[in-house]
Every structure is written in structure tokens, then in C-alpha cells.
Structure 1
Amino acid sequence: LLNILLPCAVGVLAAFLAMAPLQQNSELNFLLSKDNVEIADERLRVEAARYSGADDRGRLFELRAQSAVQRSSDTPVVEMENLTARIDLDDGPAVIVARDGRYDMDEQTVAVEGPVLMRASDGYRLETSDVDVDLGAREMRSTGAVTGRIPLGRFQANGMRVNIEDRSVVLNGRARLRIEQGGVR
């Protein structure tokens, strides 16, 4: 019985091995023991992150960060480091650069702690710190007292609201502006 079964088994095995490379199935199955897998503290971590979208008028915006972390799927907030935001405006793009920011995906806002630099294509610059940027409304609001610089000169106030679209800065409470000669031409 073995004289018949062993040669048949070798023949079947040889036929299987000869046909295996010709099969179109490229699945690979493996078993992973969850006892030996590290658990990540955050839901999502991305290096060289990029998020892009469009506002209600169809103009594009883009956020880039050196790293981005979403702590859990329950909160739609992404913490970003070395942040750059680019917003297309009617007369060209505006760029906002900051060290750290928290992007809320539902509200399309970026909360920035620390220094912020905004540059527009027509040479307009705004330097300030600690602001919330609303990408949909094209507005930037301070979260407290501000000091900053615009082409006209240096300013300080208890609060600020900037319309990125028309480059208007509204200072609220104890506003002071030091105008520099030749700042605006």
C-alpha cells in the first residue's frame, strides 16, 4: 500500500509545487499574537503631514506640518508642530507660519500658541502671537493681549481681529499703534 501511496503523494506534491507560482492569488496569511504588540498612545501620528481643502467659494487652502498627532478618534483635533498654512485669496496666496498649532477638523480652525507670521502675495506682513485662525471665514483672532507688527508700524492691544481677505486689523481695548515713517508706500 505504501509502494503505491508514497509515489502518488510525491507526484501530487510535485504537481502542487510546480503549479504554485502560476496561481494569481497573492495573499499572505499570518497569525499575530496581540501579547507581543506595542500599543500606541495616540490614534494617529504623521510625519510631514499635509491637509488640504477648499472654502465655500472654492478657493483652496493647505496646512502642512512637520508632525501631526491625533490623540483619539473621539476628538477631531490634530496637534501640529512647525506649521505652515497657505490660503488662496482673490489677489494671490497668503501664508501663515507658526511653531505649534491645534487644527480642529470639524470647525476648520487652527489655534496657535506662540509667534505667528502672516505674509500675503502683495507684500503685506503681520507678526503677532497666540491666535485662532478660521480658515473658512478667512479670519484670525487673538486669544488674549497682542503685540505685533504690520506695514504701518508696531501695535499692541487687549485683543485683535484680522480679516485676511481685505487685510484689515481691528484692535480691541487699550489699542496703541506706533506708526513708522515710510512703512506704507
Structure 2
Amino acid sequence: MQVADVQARTQIELADRQFQAQRAIEEDKFCRQKLETAYEAVTEWLDGMERLIDEPWGHICADGPEHREAARKIVDDWPWETLRPPLAVSRLSYCWSEEVRELIYSLGGISSKLCFGASVANTNREAPKEKQGDYRRAQSEVWESRQDFQVKVAKTRRTIRKELLGAES
């Protein structure tokens, strides 16, 4: 009787350990899928932002009233589209690491600087000769902000990639 009791307890303990191990595997798989989904949304948003960031620059450097109007529209809409991730992206922000979160939210400051520079450049492009320095400085600020933005996006992607590859191990 005692032997049967010991065997039953041993089998129960083994079944419990197996259940706990399987549960841990399933939890890890679920968290991994959430992380991949969250970071996929972030990278898609970043791809769109990279394409969008070239638009004000192109219009600010081009001549003609249609480019001034296009630049004005972009600058007017810019903060609403770029200062914060859209809801579809941020709804999974609880999955982001602290480093990724900081990188993403730091894009807002760069975006704001780019928007301000683009607005000044667009306003001063037709200015008298003595004001052309303002236009050139603002143009330079837009270019620098664009570069800063691209560097930050690349760093965000590297961090995400590192985290996803690390999550596989």
C-alpha cells in the first residue's frame, strides 16, 4: 500500500511539473507573439514615417506656388501624424521595452523641430534678399532634423531586432 501511495504521489508530482513546464512554454509563446505583433506595428509605422519625412524637404527645396501650398499642408498636418504613434501602434505599447518606448517618444521632439523649421523655411522662401538667411537656416534645420529622425528610427529598429532575436533564445 505504501509503495502504491509513493508511486501515485510521484506520478502526481511529475504530472504537475510537466504541466508547469508546458504552461511556461505556452506563456512564453504567447508573450513572444504579442511582442512580435507590437513591434511589427511599430516598424510599419516607422516605415511610413520615413517616407513621410521626405515630403516636406522635397517641397521646401522646390520652386513654385504648388510646392509652397503642399509644404504648408504637410506642415499643418505634420504634428497630428507624427508627434505620437497612432492608436493602432500604441495600443500594444505595454509590450515595448523601456528603451524602445524612450526611442519612439523621442521622435516627437525631432518631429516638432522639423515641423517648425519647415514652417519657417516655407514662410521665408519668398522673403526679400536680406531675409534669405532665415530661409537657409530653416532649410538647414529641416535637413538636420530629417537626419536626426532617420538615425533615431534606425536605432529603434536595431533595438527591436536585438530584442526579438534575444526573445528567441
**Normalising to structure 1: TM-score of the pair?**
0.23
Of Structure 1 and Structure 2, the greater strand share is in: 1
- Who wins on radius of gyration, i.e. which is larger? 1
Normalized per residue, the structure richer in helix is 2
